[in-house]
Amino acid sequence: MQVVLASGNAHKAEEISAALPEGIELVLQSDLGIDSVEETGLTFIENALIKARNAATCSGLPALADDSGISVEALGTAPGIYSARYARADASDLENLDKLLVELGEHPNRSARFHCVLVLLQTPDDPTPLIAEGTWHGEIAQNPSGAAGFGYDPVFYLPERRCTAAELTMTEKNKISHRGIALRQMTRLIRERYPA
| Cis peptide upstream of residue 159 (ω within 30 degrees of 0) | no
Mean pLDDT of the chain: 94
| Number of C-beta neighbours around residue 60 at 10 A | 11
**Res 170: pLDDT:** 85
The angle formed by the CA atoms of residues 160, 19 and 65, to the nearest 5 degrees, is 100
Dist CA 115 CA 121 (whole Å): 20
**Residue 17 pLDDT exceeds 90:** no
Q: Which residues contact 57 (CB under 8 A, 6 or more apart)?
A: 124
Please determine, for residue 176, whether its predicted confidence score (pLDDT) is greater than 70: yes
CATH no. for 2-193 = 3.90.950.10
Q: Is 21 exposed, middle or buried (0-12, 13-18, 19+ CB in 10 A)?
A: middle
SS3 string, the chain, reads: CEEEECCCCHHHHHHHHHHCCCCCEEEEHHHHCCCCCCCCCCCHHHHHHHHHHHHHHHHCCCEEEEEEEEEEHHHCCCEHHHHHHCCCCCCCHHHHHHHHHHHHCCCCCCEEEEEEEEEEECCCCCCCCEEEEEEEEEEECCCCCCCCCCCCHHHEEECCCCEEHHHCCHHHHHHHCHHHHHHHHHHHHHHHHCCC
Q: State the average pLDDT over residues 148-161.
A: 94
- Residues designated catalytic: 67
Q: What's the pLDDT at 196? A: 67
pLDDT at position 11 over 80: no
Q: In this model, does residue 22 exceed pLDDT 90? A: no
Of 12 and 30, more confident? 30
Domain boundaries, given as residue ranges, for the chain: 2-193
Find the mean pLDDT for residues 97-120: 97
* pLDDT for 72 beyond 80: yes
20 band by pLDDT with thresholds 50, 70 and 90: confident
Give the whole-angstrom CA distance, residue 111 versus residue 179: 19
Q: How confident is the model at residue 191 (pLDDT cuts 50, 70, 90)?
A: confident
Q: What percentage of the chain carries pLDDT values higher than 70?
A: 99
* Whether the predicted pLDDT of 15 surpasses 80: no
